[in-house]
Structure 1
Amino acid sequence: MLQLTVFLALTAAIGAITWWHCRHCRRDGGDTRDFFLAGGSLNWVFVAGSLTLTNINTDTLVGWNGNQMLLILWWELFGVLGLLLLAWVFLPVYYRLGCATVTELLERRYGSRHVRATVASLFLLGNVFVFLPVMLYTSSLFLRSLFGLEIPLLAIATGVAILGAAYAIFGGLRAVAISDTYSGVLLFGMALLVSYLALDRVDWSFSNVPAERLTLIGDSTSLVPWPILFTGMILWQLYYWSTNQTITQRALAATSLKEAQRGCYAAAVIRATIVPIVIAVPGLCAYQLHGELGDATYGTIVSEVLPTGLTGAFAAAMVAATMTSFNSTLNSSAALYVCDLHLRYFNPTANVPRISVLTSVLFALLGIALVPAYIGAESIIQLIQQLIGVFSIPILSVFIIGLAFDGIDARAIIATLVFGALTYWAGTSLWGGLHFVHIGAITLLLNAVFALAVNRLILGRRATFSRTLLPS
């Protein structure tokens, strides 16, 4: 009873604080920037908080700790570089062009709304079929492990989805960013406490953990072979932090470019200092105590080390983390559909909040329905990294080509998106001996060659290096 009371009280408190911050805010029914970019009102604190909590959630804590090894730290440490590239390279371009969505840059660059719509559709496919259901699955798995619940995962997922969707549907990005930040304070405070208590439980010793789980140099059979650090690892980070609408939207909502950059720097500091501790230490401690546990690791160690009175607080933190990531993805998905598809192709004078609400409800329902598809995955976080390559590498390719070259025909870019998705899929399906990150790097190079070849040999246009969009 105490656990449930604490859980409900903290969850309600975050909602109340968010409402208090947003209580005087009004939205114009036709103002997409106000609804999807918080009217450009976020300071660096809320930018950093929203960037961090949109990324760190149950699929991160449950998934990474479920691997029970140090090698996974490379994904998060490279994220620091991804945030710096967002601040130094991409944000100056987005702000200079006044972009509301990252795809707007592509329309400006290639002079075609169809390129924008195609990329937006790929984003939506990834959000709806991968990210939304995975967030709901991992949070449900954690809550069931933590409290020993007999409730079906789908029922728990539905409850989390309803709570998370409420922020995106009724508050827009402003409410999402504010709830992200306050949830982050609670989450990281509790996660650090769990890490400390877990270390204390194992007497600060990993003597039972095999050496291969404590190394940062992975061999060819490991989840993170060391060569990928020099080939495609940075590509995943560049896509995620600089061209992914769900993430970049937070930085685009700042009061100015400099404020957005400060938020990126603060988020990078958090990622370099706090994140490595909370995603690796509990998993290693669980291995020391119990051996390999898989995706049930985090819920198990939390239930063991936290006093009963604090498990409710931690559950609130984890649900808050899921809700912030879920509502962030939901809000960005609505932004992509409304701005890049609905207003451009169906009804340019549509009521933005109304269409956004309907779209968000539909996407939330699809996310819930797809939860069963991820039950039983061997490593949920590794599965995510593989799946997003199908669309992330083609999308990143057209961003890089657009920044690097002038004179590229939009038809060559649309063909490259299709070619890139098929190439990556074929490479991971048929060339099983090569790590998917290597395949991503090869695919990106092939995409560039393909785009330039189609542009020149089929469409008869000559591409030249561009200097106009690169930040000064």
Structure 2
Amino acid sequence: MKDIKIGTTDLIIIIIYIIGILAIGLFSVRKNKMTSNNYFLAGRSLKWLIVGTALFASNISTIHMVGLAASGYNEGLVWGNFEWMAVFTLILLALIFAPFYFKTKISTLPEFMEKRYGPASRTFVAFMGIVAALFIHLGMSLYAGAVVFESFFGINVYISIFLISLITAIYTVIGGLKAVMITETVQTVILISGAVLLTIFGILALPEHGITSFALFKAALKEGQLSMLHSAASIKALSPKGADSGLTWYAVFLGYPVLGIWYWCTDQTHVQRVLSARSLEDAQKGSLFAGVLKILPVFILILPGVIGYVLYKDIIGTDANQTFPILITHLLPVGIKGIVAAALLSALMSVVAAALNSSATLVSVDIVKRYRPKTSDKEQVLVGRIAAVVIMIVAMLWSTQGGNFASIFEAINKIAAAMAPPITTVFLLGVFSKRGTKEASIITLYVGFLLGIISFCLDYVPISGKMYITEGLGIPFMMQAWWLFCINCLIYYIVSYLTPKPDPEAISQCTWDSPISVITQGKFKGIGDVRFLAGLLLIFLIIMYAIFR
């Protein structure tokens, strides 16, 4: 990646940002008595605005900012489906899942699994949550971010990993979830501001290159580069390996919800922000606000890559990963570069802090407290802090192996496609089906993960030597997720009807009476009603898809 020269002014801005984030994180909890409730759930006191911005920040990493620009350069807005379909799953989080998470007063997602299915399912989901946080959210984010920062500062990747980990761990370990979420709110503002500035400077540079109208801009692009929805033929025309990406319109609408429900509705790293809300309404509105924010990346993270194709394709050539640094080098003046660099730091630190705190919560609440019920409140906090330090160290060590992967994006996507289907199945069917049994849950989880591992190994080149499913059978990773989900649903229902029906009273707080109850239950509160707001957001999403189809 092309080196970016950081001047004194920009460096001062970056240093001020780092000191400021540390100060905000520690200052935000200075008067708090550090109980387990405060440390792991921010005292369940946060308003919807903080919940929403923290949800958004816990998702957007440094590699998103660089990777989405590269994707925009190569294939265009089609990669925005990962952002816009997240809006749909955040609506599901607000309407379908959040009411039960609050009603059952859970601290972790595995705890909900125990209330719905029993302790075996809780143990399994807790273990998988820690694995996901450690190997995906922490390890790969650290490595990818360090590679980016090597371009900015010329610092060795391993030193970058150490410095970023140390800075983030200080306020996360000491301050707990409230410190993490307050800093994430600030980081969201910086992240969006930096991305917006880069987009604006890119648009302002177009006339200098002879692009004075939208028609000229579109004419300078590849066919379909501004389209969100593609057939297999049209996506392949954009990129030789386009069809293998699994971004056809039907793969997006069938496969992404399987990944998205796991990622946004059942993963501790993200849902912990919802559990910290002061009320159910704040949790729901926070989820919807995060959905509103997820509309933005198409225009401030992917569109700059499309603009980069118009402005600098002769410089960038076939190395799309150069898009982001070249945009910064050629477009941004002194001072603005520092803000964008701070935005990159914000993206990485927010993801790392979120994963670190959530995994520490799982260790303390779902493992230590569960198997040692007499653990005191003070001991729980101590265990959480120790777990955070240990997990951070392990993640740092694992992240140094990132260079051994041919493609980090490929590895993450395929891991997600393997992990998501069984968890999505047991959570989604668990809240809608009163017939679902504890045996159905645990068998679906075990068999589903076994099938996921098999599909991962068959399709991951460093292991199998060939992509047997994607290339051999023509089934890309998102469609693999969809078909695995269908198989898991079949397993779930077969086992449910072969095993004793659960006690309706025991699971009444964990299931909807019927699917329509999501909309009809409770008195309508006017235009501020969560259901009305969710409907508006869904309509807006449909309109956006109609415009950019």
- Could you say which residue in structure 1 is the equivalent of 2:139? 133
- Could you say which residue in structure 2 is the equivalent of 1:123? 129
- Could you say which residue in structure 1 is the equivalent of 2:489? 448
Deviations 1:12-46 (A, max 9, x none): 12322333332211113xx3x22111001111121
Indicate yes or no: 2:479 matched with 1:438: yes
Q: How does 1:2-401 map to 2 (within 5 A)?
A: 2-28=9-35, 31=36, 33-68=37-72, 69-110=76-117, 112-147=118-153, 149=154, 151-203=155-207, 205=217, 207-220=219-232, 221=236, 222=242, 223=245, 224-272=247-295, 274-288=296-310, 289=312, 290-346=316-372, 348-349=374-375, 351-375=379-403, 380-401=408-429
Q: How does 1:453-472 map to 2 (within 5 A)?
A: 453-457=494-498, 460-462=499-501, 469-470=511-512, 471=518, 472=521
Percentage of matched positions with identical amino acids: 26
Deviations 1:42-94 (A, max 9, x none): 11121111011111121221222222221101110011111111111111111
Shift of 1:455: 4.1
Any unmatched runs of 5+ in structure 2? 1-7, 212-216, 237-241, 459-467, 513-517, 522-549
Q: How many residues align?
A: 463
Conserved in 2, the CA contact under 8 Å of 1:342 and 1:348?
no
Which is worse superposed, 331-340 or 418-427? 418-427
Give the Cα–Cα distance (whole angstroms) in 2 for the partners of residues 444 and 99 of structure 1. 26
Give the Cα–Cα distance (whole angstroms) in 2 for the partners of residues 216 and 407 of structure 1. 39
Give the Cα–Cα distance (whole angstroms) in 2 for the partners of residues 230 and 325 of structure 1. 26
Conserved in 1, the CA contact under 8 Å of 2:32 and 2:38?
no
Conserved in 2, the CA contact under 8 Å of 1:146 and 1:302?
no
Give the Cα–Cα distance (whole angstroms) in 2 for the partners of residues 117 and 281 of structure 1. 42
Q: CA 1:283–1:237 in 2, change beyond 3 Å: closer, same or farther?
A: same
Shift of 1:324: 1.3
- Could you say which residue in structure 2 is the equivalent of 1:412? 440
> Where do 4+ consecutive residues of structure 1 move more than 4 Å?
376-379, 462-468
Output the aligned Cα RMSD. Answer: 2.2
Helix, strand or coil at the partner of 2:28: helix
Q: CA 1:113–1:17 in 2, change beyond 3 Å: closer, same or farther?
A: same
Q: CA 1:451–1:265 in 2, change beyond 3 Å: closer, same or farther?
A: closer
Helix, strand or coil at the partner of 2:364: helix
Conserved in 2, the CA contact under 8 Å of 1:397 and 1:444?
yes
Give the Cα–Cα distance (whole angstroms) in 1 for the partners of residues 276 and 503 of structure 2. 33
Helix, strand or coil at the partner of 1:308: coil
Deviations 1:180-210 (A, max 9, x none): 0011111111110011112223435365532
Shift of 1:262: 1.7
**In the alignment, residue 106 of structure 1 is paired with which amino acid?**
M
Shift of 1:227: 1.4
In our comparison, the structure showing a higher alpha carbon Rg is: 2
Give the Cα–Cα distance (whole angstroms) in 1 for the partners of residues 322 and 126 of structure 2. 34
Helix, strand or coil at the partner of 2:46: coil
Any unmatched runs of 5+ in structure 1? none
Give the Cα–Cα distance (whole angstroms) in 2 for the partners of residues 16 and 439 of structure 1. 45
Q: CA 1:278–1:383 in 2, change beyond 3 Å: closer, same or farther?
A: farther
Helix, strand or coil at the partner of 1:214: coil
Q: CA 1:348–1:302 in 2, change beyond 3 Å: closer, same or farther?
A: farther
Helix, strand or coil at the partner of 1:366: helix
Helix, strand or coil at the partner of 1:255: coil
Give the Cα–Cα distance (whole angstroms) in 1 for the partners of residues 184 and 381 of structure 2. 21
Conserved in 2, the CA contact under 8 Å of 1:206 and 1:284?
no
Give the Cα–Cα distance (whole angstroms) in 2 for the partners of residues 374 and 286 of structure 1. 27
Give the Cα–Cα distance (whole angstroms) in 2 for the partners of residues 189 and 57 of structure 1. 15
Conserved in 1, the CA contact under 8 Å of 2:252 and 2:478?
no
Give the Cα–Cα distance (whole angstroms) in 2 for the partners of residues 230 and 323 of structure 1. 31
Conserved in 2, the CA contact under 8 Å of 1:63 and 1:380?
no
Shift of 1:157: 1.4
Helix, strand or coil at the partner of 1:55: coil
**In the alignment, residue 439 of structure 1 is paired with which amino acid?**
Q
Give the Cα–Cα distance (whole angstroms) in 1 for the partners of residues 484 and 68 of structure 2. 26
Give the Cα–Cα distance (whole angstroms) in 2 for the partners of residues 377 and 352 of structure 1. 37
- Give the TM-score normalised by the residue count of structure 1: 0.92
Q: CA 1:282–1:292 in 2, change beyond 3 Å: closer, same or farther?
A: farther
Conserved in 2, the CA contact under 8 Å of 1:61 and 1:278?
no
- Give the TM-score normalised by the residue count of structure 2: 0.79
Helix, strand or coil at the partner of 1:209: coil
Give the Cα–Cα distance (whole angstroms) in 2 for the partners of residues 264 and 407 of structure 1. 29
Which is worse superposed, 247-256 or 368-377? 368-377
Q: CA 1:314–1:242 in 2, change beyond 3 Å: closer, same or farther?
A: same
Shift of 1:348: 4.0
Conserved in 2, the CA contact under 8 Å of 1:86 and 1:241?
yes
